[in-house]
């Protein structure tokens, strides 16, 4: 780690988990190692938390809930804003930690710190707007009201591709609502969560309100799902794991929000501003080296503008700088691990074997690290793996279409329903197609639609629940109806 001169948040010689305001090692006395995907070097070792730490964390959160939930919304909002300010104060260090552990290009990592902090701002404000209701009664002697109360102890299970933002998108509304909880970060990105916990401590947030337990995934998640204290779980990750969690939530009917995988169509109509569309495709496809749930997976270009659009996109892709993620000039960092590279290689070779043409890139780079060239494929067809599964890598597959009706049908022909993009300058078409696409988030002439003040979430097998916006706090609240007879 060279980017930041001095690390003040974490001691890499002695990383610990955060339970009940204490920095603890694992009862199992075992550790797991974290490898830098840019260099293949070991970054540090982390205590392998398990059932014991998860149980302690849940009990600590339960204890803390008694007082945290009784604070006024204004008091909780003050804590969130203090935490937000601390994130800004430590932006460089948080970005460097993230970049080193999971390979996000440093400038993008810095952007993620800001994005993650924006959820704390938004939900500090939303805390003050948790309004109830009064309902006109049908008889004169009754008064009917609905109040909103925090659900209790929650758990957040987060992925490695947005280590901070996926955590604050859950913790922001949870803490604002009056909930306390446990975070289980991904094994490839525990340091970001633990560095964040240092800020939780600095902000003076009471012990037990936020706990971070990394380690033995199964053991921790079993405790989360089996412990009756936990009332709600918010999961962001793959559709495959999400489905297993639905089963695990059934015995206690735990509330579950699932933010899962996607397979976004990116549609370029013949009337689109092609320069803007290519810029949007570049941002959507190549952000985080193509490792995002909302990235453009299938680029549909109208046959009449295929050549022009492809040339513009290929030129832009050629200029992307690949390198060690910690380097400030890097635009495309490594993939998260060797399995990630293998999956991309499989998708590209499958596509080529079935007739795709490599217009740029098309191979892994170097011996060390987990790099893959930013790649554009032409002549892509529906039967290829890349058109059906998440690639999670920097590969843009281009196919063509002839009519609006045809492309809507193709775009919707997927088990996923997270994000979709369309570029057009025809206002009627823009409305018509946006309304016809079965996806939770639509980027209309916009390659980067995600923002704290808007609801984000999927349809179909991309999950259920919404995070962000005023909708994002709903799941952390119970609505209680009180009927008063005078
Ligand atoms: P993942 O393998 O499903 O893991 C996500 C989290 O779940 C990690 O903390 C992981 O822990 C944990 N986990 C894995 N197996 C588990 C199990 N059997 N029981 C309980 N927890 C388990 O996904 P990922 O590879 O980290 O993330 C990439 C996926 O997330 C992609 O599919 C992407 O599209 C999706 N994603 C969706 C959104 C959204 O908002 N919809 C946002 C970002 C990412 P370990 O790391 O310890 O295995």
Of 180, 209, 161, 245, the closest CA to residue 18 belongs to: 209
What residue's CA is closest to ligand 1, atom 23?
237
Å from CA of 238 to ligand 1 middle: 5
Q: What is the DSSP letter of 465?
A: -
What residue's CA is closest to ligand 1, atom 41?
259
Catalytic, 410? Answer: no
Catalytic, 370? Answer: no
Å from CA of 102 to ligand 1 middle: 14
Report the atom number in ligand 1 closest to the C-alpha of 259.
41
Give all strands of the β-sheet with 133-135 in edge-to-edge order. 133-135, 142-150, 477-485
Surface-to-core class of residue 374, CB atoms within 10 Å of its CB (0-12 exposed, 13-18 middle, 19+ buried) = buried
CB 65 within 8 A of CB 116: no
Question: Domains of the chain by range and CATH?
Answer: 17-260+463-485 (3.40.605.10), 264-451 (3.40.309.10)
What residue's CA is closest to ligand 1, atom 28?
237
CB 301 within 8 A of CB 309: yes
Pocket of ligand 1 (CB under 6 A): 157-162, 166, 184, 186-188, 217, 221, 236-238, 241, 244, 259-262, 293, 390, 418, 458
Which distant-in-sequence residues (6+ apart) come within 8 Å of 367 by Cβ?
Answer: none
Report the atom number in ligand 1 closest to the C-alpha of 160.
26
Q: Enumerate helices (H) and strands (E) in the chain, giving the number of each.
A: 13, 22
Å from CA of 215 to ligand 1 middle: 14
Of 94, 27, 31, 91, the closest CA to residue 57 belongs to: 27
Distance CA(239)–CA(241), nearest Å, equals 6
CB 50 within 8 A of CB 17: no
Helical axes 190-202 vs 165-177, angle rounded to 10°:
40
Kindly state the tokens that stand for 292.
């995002």
Using one digit for the tens of pLDDT, what is the confidence trace for 212-269?
999 999 999 999 999 999 999 999 999 999 999 999 999 999 999 999 999 999 999 9
Report the atom number in ligand 1 closest to the C-alpha of 215.
47
Å from CA of 157 to ligand 1 middle: 8
Distance CA(125)–CA(310), nearest Å, equals 44
What residue's CA is closest to ligand 1, atom 43?
293
CB 444 within 8 A of CB 427: no
Q: What is the structure's pLDDT at 4? A: 59
Å from CA of 415 to ligand 1 middle: 18
Distance CA(240)–CA(51), nearest Å, equals 23
Per-residue pLDDT tens, the chain, 486 aa: give them: 555 556 789 999 999 999 999 999 999 999 999 999 999 999 999 999 999 999 999 999 999 999 999 999 999 999 999 999 999 999 999 999 999 999 999 999 999 999 999 999 999 999 999 999 999 999 999 999 999 999 999 999 999 999 999 999 999 999 999 999 999 999 999 999 999 999 999 999 999 999 999 999 999 999 999 999 999 999 999 999 999 999 999 999 999 999 999 999 999 999 999 999 999 999 999 999 999 999 999 999 999 999 999 999 999 999 999 999 999 999 999 999 999 999 999 999 999 999 999 999 999 998 778 999 999 999 999 999 999 999 999 999 999 999 999 999 999 999 999 999 999 999 999 999 999 999 999 999 999 999 999 999 999 999 999 999 999 999 999 999 999 999
Of 143, 185, 141, the closest CA to residue 161 belongs to: 185
| Coil vs helix vs strand at 391 | coil
Å from CA of 241 to ligand 1 middle: 7
Report the atom number in ligand 1 closest to the C-alpha of 217.
47
Q: Which of 53, 223, 293, 373 is catalytic?
A: 293
Q: Which of 53, 93, 108, 259 is catalytic?
A: 259
What residue's CA is closest to ligand 1, atom 8?
186
Residue of 167, 237, 291, 459 with the most ligand 1 atoms within 8 Å of its CB, for mutation: 237
What residue's CA is closest to ligand 1, atom 39?
259
Å from CA of 191 to ligand 1 middle: 16
Q: What is the structure's pLDDT at 6? A: 66
């Amino acid at each position: 780690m060279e980017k930041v001169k001095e690390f003040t948040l974490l001691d890499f010689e002695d990383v610990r988990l955060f339970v009940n305001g204490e920095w603890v090692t694992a009862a199992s006395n075992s550790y797991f190692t974290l490898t830098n995907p840019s260099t293949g070097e070991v970054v540090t070792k982390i205590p392998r938390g398990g059932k014991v730490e998860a149980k302690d964390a849940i009990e600590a959160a339960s204890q803390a809930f008694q007082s945290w939930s009784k604070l006024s919304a204004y008091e909780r909002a003050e804590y969130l804003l203090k935490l937000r300010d601390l994130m800004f104060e430590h932006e460089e260090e948080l970005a460097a930690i993230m970049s080193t552990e999971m390979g996000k290009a440093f400038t993008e990592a810095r952007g993620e710190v800001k994005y993650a902090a924006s959820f704390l701002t938004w939900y500090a404000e939303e805390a003050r707007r948790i309004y109830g209701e009064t309902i006109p009664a049908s008889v004169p002697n009754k008064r009917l009201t609905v109040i909103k109360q925090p659900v209790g102890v929650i758990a957040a299970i987060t992925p490695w591709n947005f280590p901070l933002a996926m955590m604050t998108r859950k913790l922001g509304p949870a803490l604002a609502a009056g909930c306390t909880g446990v975070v289980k970060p991904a094994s490839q990105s525990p340091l970001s969560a633990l560095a964040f916990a240092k800020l939780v401590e600095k902000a003076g947030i009471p012990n037990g309100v936020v706990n971070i337990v990394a380690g033995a995934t199964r053991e921790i998640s079993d405790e989360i799902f089996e412990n009756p204290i936990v009332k709600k779980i918010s999961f962001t990750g793959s559709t495959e794991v999400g489905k297993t969690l639905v089963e695990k939530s059934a015995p206690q009917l735990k509330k579950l929000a699932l933010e899962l995988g996607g397979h976004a169509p990116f549609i370029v109509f013949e009337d689109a501003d092609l320069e803007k569309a290519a810029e949007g495709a570049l941002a959507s496809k190549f952000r985080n080296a193509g490792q995002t749930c909302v990235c453009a997976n299938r680029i549909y270009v109208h046959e009449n503008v295929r050549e022009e659009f492809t040339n513009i996109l290929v030129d832009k892709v050629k200029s992307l700088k690949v390198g060690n993620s910690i380097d400030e000039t890097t635009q495309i960092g490594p993939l998260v691990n060797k399995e990630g590279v293998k999956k991309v290689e499989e998708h590209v070779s499958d596509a080529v074997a079935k007739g795709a043409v490599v217009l740029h890139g098309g191979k892994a780079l170097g011996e060390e690290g987990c790099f893959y060239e930013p790649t554009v494929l032409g002549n892509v067809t529906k039967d290829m793996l890349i058109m059906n599964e998440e690639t999670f890598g920097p590969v843009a597959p281009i196919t063509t279409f002839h009519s609006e009706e045809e492309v809507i049908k193709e775009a919707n022909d997927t088990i996923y329903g997270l994000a979709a993009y369309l570029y057009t300058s025809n206002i009627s078409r823009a409305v018509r197609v946006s309304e016809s696409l079965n996806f939770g988030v639509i980027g209309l002439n916009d390659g980067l639609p995600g923002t704290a003040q808007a609801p984000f979430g999927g349809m179909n097998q991309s999950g259920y629940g919404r995070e962000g916006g005023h909708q994002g706090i709903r799941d952390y609240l119970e609505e209680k109806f009180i009927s008063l007879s005078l």
